[in-house]
């Protein structure tokens, strides 16, 4: 029996710095005749993301949080114009990270939702259409971070120490604090062990810490683990 064509379509841009992941997402949801999702562009860093979004004006952008050039928050900041238009572009964060600071950061930046990369293809398609309709979509438990953040009457204090770190350094910091070995971190982040060591050295230097045990205590005290 012939599969029924979708009742509507959504034009989508994929933004992620891992080409294999983008290829997998496109293969999973980009069959327009079956899912209604038309992937009209891809990008792997902040500069290319801002350019592709401006050129294609998609309905929804699937946005990774950690990107070369400043991360997803920077893409949102520089895309404020296309978000603010009538029927403007909407952003859905799609990330491996489930850290509260990442979730809150992109939502404050203008994203309409945040889902983790454990999401199924079917659920991702549904999330895209819901975001396109103006709904907010979150993976289980992540919505609580946003509700807590926006329910607070006081603006959270700026953490100047944390702000010294790049997005990638924060990512390495969090994994170190969770007890991952350098080799495990390298595999998870698709970087070399030597690069991990360089990031750890930079973090220790910027935070004026001596070793990974002090680093773990520092991260735990700030609820980054």
**Beta bridge partner(s), residue 91:** 61
- In this prediction, residue 159 carries a pLDDT of 62
User: Does the pTM exceed 0.75?
Assistant: no
Per-residue CA distances from 112 to 14, 128, 145, 146, 152 (Å): 15, 10, 14, 11, 19
What is the pLDDT averaged over residues 39-49?
95
Q: pLDDT of 169-185, one tens digit each? A: 888 888 888 888 899 88
Q: Which comes out higher in pLDDT, residue 140 or 68?
A: 68
| % residues pLDDT > 90 (the chain) | 44
């Amino acid at each position: 029996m012939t599969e029924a064509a979708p009742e509507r379509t959504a034009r989508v841009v994929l933004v992620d710095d891992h080409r294999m992941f983008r290829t997998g997402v496109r293969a999973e949801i980009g069959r327009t005749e079956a899912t209604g999702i038309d992937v009209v562009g891809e990008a792997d860093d902040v500069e290319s993301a801002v350019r592709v979004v401006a050129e294609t004006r998609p309905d929804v952008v699937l946005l990774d949080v950690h990107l070369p050039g400043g991360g997803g928050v920077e893409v949102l900041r520089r895309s404020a114009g296309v978000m603010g238009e009538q029927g403007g572009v909407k952003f859905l964060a799609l990330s491996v990270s489930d850290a509260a600071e990442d979730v809150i950061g992109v939502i404050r930046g203008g994203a309409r939702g945040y889902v983790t990369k454990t999401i199924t293809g079917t659920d991702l398609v549904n999330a895209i259409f819901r975001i396109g309709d103006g709904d907010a979509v979150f993976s289980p438990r992540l919505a609580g971070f946003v509700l807590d953040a926006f329910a607070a009457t006081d603006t959270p204090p700026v953490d100047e120490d944390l702000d010294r770190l790049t997005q990638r350094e924060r990512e390495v910091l969090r994994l170190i604090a969770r007890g991952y070995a350098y080799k495990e971190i390298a595999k998870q982040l698709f970087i070399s062990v030597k690069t991990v060591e360089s990031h750890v050295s930079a973090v220790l230097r910027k935070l004026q810490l001596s070793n990974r045990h002090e680093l773990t205590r520092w991260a735990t005290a700030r609820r980054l683990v």
